[in-house]
Chain A
Amino acid sequence: MMARVFAVTAVGVGLVVLGCQSRGGDVSGVGNSIISGVRQTVNRINPDDVRGATTELDEPEEIELGRAVSSALGSRYKLLRDDPLTRYVALVGNAVAQQSDRPDLRYYFGVLDTTEVNAFAAPGGYVFITRGTLLLMRDEATLAAVLAHEIGHIALRHHVETIKTEKQAALTKGIGASALRVGSGYIRGAAGSAATAPLHSPLMNVLADGAFNAVLKGFSRAEEEQADAVGVKYTARAGYDPAGLRDFLRAVEDGGKQPAKSGFVAKFTATHPGTDERLRDQDNQLKTMPAGGRRAATRFEQRAMKPPSPPAR
């Protein structure tokens, strides 16, 4: 089980992740085998397929990495296959995302079936929020704020810079350098047409492992602050009360005083002691913004707090 809570600061998001071992395997501990796999794969690449890769990361690649990270997250946690709830979260998320700095990116939202207080932004527009996080909320403005923070990471391309750095590191350190030199390389997956069959790309796998680890590890303090700042703006532009993020951080903090929730929050505050500062930042930012905006508490209660729907296919 997960052992570590990296919470969020993200929503500072109260990202509370307990534990660090995943059901799908601890990716951080298999680096050598991955590298080995890369080299073995590269040896089988046809020279005719050699094409130079760059340290750049374009949007289709980012989206593909987002899918890979989402599959990893969905294996570490259980995806809540509740169609009405998922669509509701996505409606709120898209309303905010359209006010972001990347409104042209297609965003996808999912709910993870865990009581952990947590939210994740995967590359390429994939956003996850846990059931435990929803339980801490009282209205739609707060949900919008948490999603806006995660969208902020994506809109500001925080993953992209991290992944590009990894790509560059792979070149300079020689890790997977042969793969980069000859292009990504590929191995055909299951039988089927070349256009649809799964393909194994050593470069893709290395970068996806790195992106997944980065998502679990959390972003830098500076990136969290940036996501806080832009997230509040997106929320306000979408017509919501921009105080939602502050309210959520307070809820996380208050949760630490409740025995039933203190375990999560204690780890959160121990590993991310910046909650007080972030709350102060929020108070300062809110002073510069027009007060007001909708909270939509009734709709949130009706659509997010109802009993789970039967599993949708």
Chain B
Amino acid sequence: MTRTTIAISVLLGVVTAPLAAETTRWVERTKVDVRAGRGSYYEIVETLVKGDPVDILKAEEKWVSVRTQAAKTGWIYEAALKAAPVPPGSSDFLKSAPGDISTSRTAASQGAKGIYAQGYARQRGYDYGVVTWIETHQPDRSQMEAFLQDSGEPSGGAR
């Protein structure tokens, strides 16, 4: 390796190391959804759990475009990330579940998924079907995008 090459390598090292540190963030919340767009109505690309690292690609209006360890890209709300490594963690409800749930990364990433709320509803005599119906009758991404493009006024036009 020539002296010049070494010099360039050192220079690159000096330049890229801080850059890499600046563009890596760690999930600070128990569970975070990486979405296809800047909004909670966009499809979930991947679900991450506390402590997972992501590479920041760009930032727009409090959302950041990220690349995950699984090489998937999407958007995360900036406040869900931290600039320093975060130890893993889980919910108290999840902690209380059987071992195969409490220790399962998959289960943690999915949240409780209603299993405790269903148990609560059953015990109290409430109708959990209400929740199921609501969760399955919400607008999808295309409906939201069309709605946001329509002012709703007779003259029409986007906002």
Query: Residues of A with Cβ closer than 8 Å to B?
Result: 24-25, 27, 49, 51, 53-54, 56, 58-61, 63-65, 67-68, 70-75, 79, 81, 83, 86-87, 90-91, 94-95, 97-98, 103-110, 126, 140, 183-189, 194-201, 203-205, 208-209, 239, 294-296, 298-300, 312
Contact = CB atoms under 8 A, between A and B. Distances in A.
Contacts of B130: 70-71, 73-75, 79, 110
Interface residues of B, number: 64
What does DSSP make chain A's interface, helix, strand, loop or mixed? mixed
A83 B139 CA distance: 10
22 contacts: A51-B95, A60-B30, A60-B91, A60-B112, A61-B91, A64-B116, A68-B121, A70-B117, A71-B131, A73-B130, A74-B129, A75-B130, A87-B143, A91-B144, A94-B39, A183-B95, A184-B96, A194-B100, A196-B113, A294-B152, A298-B152, A298-B153
B98 to A, nearest CB: 5
A58 B130 CA distance: 24
A298 B152 CA distance: 7
Contacts of B116: 64, 68, 198-201, 204
B120 A86 contact: no
B87 interface: no
A183 B92 contact: yes
A307 B158 CA distance: 28
A49 B99 contact: yes
Nearest to A206: B120
Interface of B: 29-31, 33, 39-41, 62-63, 76-77, 79-80, 91-102, 104, 107, 111-131, 133-135, 137-139, 143-144, 147-148, 150-154, 159
Contact of B115 (A56, A86, A198, A208): A198
B131 to A, nearest CB: 5
A160 to B, nearest CB: 13
A95 B29 CA distance: 25
Given A91-B143, A186-B96, A312 B117 contact: no
Contacts of A203: 92-93, 96
Question: Which among A27, A200, A209 has the greatest number of chain B C-beta atoms within 10 A?
Answer: A200
Contacts of A197: 115
A95 B125 contact: no
Contacts of B39: 94, 98, 103
Given A51-B95, A194-B100, A64 B40 contact: no
A199 B121 contact: no
B139 A184 contact: no
Given A59-B30, A312-B137, A75 B127 contact: yes
B18 to A, nearest CB: 28
A63 B97 CA distance: 16
